[in-house]
């Protein structure tokens, strides 16, 4: 078992550091942990948020043979600035910490996303005007919708885990629901920029 990320960047939040365990097989076909490491965090929007990319895949279905998925993930992480919110043709698992009182910009990804609240509570605001308060353990299934995350606490950080899966272009009526990063555009590359 190997340990990596000997000096990972910590989140700007006061929430506990998290760890990932990547499994595989030994020569006898038995399950092992190949690597374990601390989450490596990157601050965004004047340290109002921290992102940690836990894992990515670059094709569907994923090919685990000869650790091809690990190689693709490691290659992508060597140039993390190329990765938008979505990995074209694949998935991204990302943990996000939100500062007390912080509202990210309204945005849409062209993806099917699972968002799970891990710590604190957070509001999901939609462009229709709907507002839904989510608590620890609640799950949002975002289907290429325009949305915003708001930590309404004055004192507590909130943490969410997201799994974003690339999807086919969505058309509603005669309108194509393309990626719209809104005010986040200055900090994030468009997802299609990550295509190799």
| pLDDT tens-digit profile, the chain (196 residues) | 665 555 678 999 999 999 999 999 999 999 999 999 999 999 999 999 999 999 999 999 999 999 999 999 999 999 887 899 999 999 999 999 999 999 999 999 999 999 999 999 999 999 999 999 999 999 999 999 999 999 999 999 999 999 999 999 999 999 999 999 887 656 777 786 444 3
Is 14 part of a structural domain of the chain?
no
Is 141 part of a structural domain of the chain?
yes
Distance CA 154, CA 152 (A): 6
Phi first, then psi, for residue 94 (nearest 5°) are -135, 135
Reduced to 3 states, what is the DSSP secondary structure of residue 178? coil
Is 26 part of a structural domain of the chain?
no
Residues 6+ away with beta carbon under 8 Å from 37: 3, 4, 5, 8, 19, 20
DSSP 103: B
Instruction: Specify whether the CB–CB gap between 53 and 5 falls below 8 A.
Output: no
Q: Which domain holds residue 151?
A: 43-184
Indicate the number of domains in the chain: 1
Is 20 part of a structural domain of the chain?
no
DSSP E strands, the chain: 2-3, 19-25, 31-38, 42-44, 49-57, 91-98, 111-119, 122-126, 131-134, 139-143, 147-150, 158-166, 171-172, 175-176
Distance CA 57, CA 99 (A): 28
Is 99 part of a structural domain of the chain?
yes
Distance CA 97, CA 14 (A): 9
Q: How many helices (H) and strands (E) does the chain have?
A: 1, 14
Distance CA 25, CA 38 (A): 21
Is 86 part of a structural domain of the chain?
yes
Is 34 part of a structural domain of the chain?
no
Is 165 part of a structural domain of the chain?
yes
| Domain harbouring 137, CATH code | 2.60.120.10
């Amino acid at each position: 078992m190997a340990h990596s990320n000997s000096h990972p960047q910590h989140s700007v939040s006061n929430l506990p550091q998290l760890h990932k365990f990547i499994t595989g097989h030994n020569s006898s076909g038995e399950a092992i942990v190949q690597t374990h490491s601390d989450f490596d965090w990157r601050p965004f929007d004047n340290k109002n948020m921290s992102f940690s990319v836990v894992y990515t895949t670059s094709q569907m279905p994923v090919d685990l043979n000869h650790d091809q998925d690990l190689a693709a993930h490691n290659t992508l992480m060597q140039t993390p600035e190329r990765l938008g919110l979505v990995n074209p043709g694949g998935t991204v698992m990302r943990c996000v910490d939100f500062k007390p009182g912080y509202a990210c910009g309204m945005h849409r990804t062209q993806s099917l996303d699972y968002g799970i609240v891990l710590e604190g509570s957070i509001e999901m605001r939609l462009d229709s005007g709907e507002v839904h308060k989510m608590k620890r353990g609640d799950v949002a299934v975002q289907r290429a919708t325009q949305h915003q995350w708001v930590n309404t606490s004055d004192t507590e950080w909130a943490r969410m885990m997201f799994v974003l899966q690339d999807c086919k272009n969505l058309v509603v009526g005669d309108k194509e629901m393309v990626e719209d990063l809104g005010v986040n555009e200055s900090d994030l590359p468009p997802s299609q920029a990550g295509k190799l």
